[in-house]
Structure 1
Amino acid sequence: MRGTVQHAAQLARETIPPMHPAGRPFVLGALAGALALRKLARPLGTLGFIGAAATAWFFREPKRVPPARDDVAVAPADGVVSLIEEAVPPPELGMDPQPRTRVSIFLSVFDVHVQRVPASGRVQRVAYRPGKFLSADLDKASEENERNSVLLRTTSGHELAVVQIAGLVARRIVCQVSEGDTVHVGQTYGLIRFGSRVDLYLPAGSTLSVRVGQRTIGGETTVAELPADHQESSKA
């Protein structure tokens, strides 16, 4: 019997992803509300507990295994590639204002909402900018919505910019890295609460590996192969 319980516990740990720490206050609040509702009526309490479970699921942080390559950029988020275009990086990052390929990934409320580092390297700059809360699937959301931008210099010398963008429902951006931090591909670096978009700006000469409409798995899906030359590093 004891072995069966231990096996079940191990299976649960391997099957149910852990929860991001930022979700704990919300889950605890939902549980407190469920207990209060249960005192009023058992069915209401049941609905409350279901809501708490759904909240915990929203904040899940599953383990991911990135590609064993340092010449690629992986998806910074789970979601759907909603837009691929040439665009100027956020001015607050102080990058070269020349347009570069931008891959936008839209996250629905059903997607994993933690953001992943697209390539190993060092954080050069972190810049937050307040803004509007337009629907994240609109083209102008990249320019007008609240956002948090991170400039990363990869171990191979390339510049990558990844931008968390708040959406119509999302009203809180969490960023867990600071300037000077050494980061590793696939690690969690942030979170956007509840429905959002993440933009990835690639260096010139990158070869895309995704297309519009494709689903991505944060930390695992290869978005692009980075160019072999390191001209950007010589400009810095």
Structure 2
Amino acid sequence: MTRPPDLLASAARCYELTGDYAQAARCHDEAGHPLKAAELWEHAGDPVRAADRWLRARRPGRAAECLLAARRFEEAAKAYEQGGDLLNAGWTLVTRTRSYATAEHLFALAEPHTAGERLRRRLGRQLAAARAYGQSAALLRTLTDVPERIGSLKPARERAKVELWAVTAAEHVRRPDLGALVFAASYRAGVTGCADRWQHWAARTLGDTTGVPAAAAPPGLAEG
């Protein structure tokens, strides 16, 4: 017998109050509420079910994030592609899988609208070539250029994205020195959270955080 949606929603609230997020999610599933079900499946620690509900709710970006958490990288890339985010689709493939040709195809189809997106597209395509064919010269030139450009990127949120992509690309071609230069430029540009990311990266990659700032750049140092 089908239970009324209002009754199911009330039951879900009770389960949620007791911390039984999975049962609460099932109630919202039965009631036909994929958005709420997706959130609850995330709380329940089931990112795969959450991703399915996000897709049903036409939120492919959130679905992709859940699939990344579940280490289902090919599926995450498809979710990004479904949402029209070809840059993140390609980046997921080139950094998390060996589907370099597909990644290159996605980057080729992407239509960047900002300088930051164009720079990320170039990094993605060049990393695909480096990983597939060992052709890293072009990527190294771009990585060398990033520190000079990162502070001028607009909107400001693009700076953190370029920082992440450039540092990740530098790791893939075993050039932590270039990654450090990107972090230094990002720090000078006042990119939010850069100091923490730099600290964690240095500890993980270099095993030493000597000389890495532990706090945000002072206003006088930040480039804007």
TM-score (norm 2): 0.28
| Bigger Rg, which one | 2
Pick the structure with more strand per residue: 1
Pick the structure with more helix per residue: 2
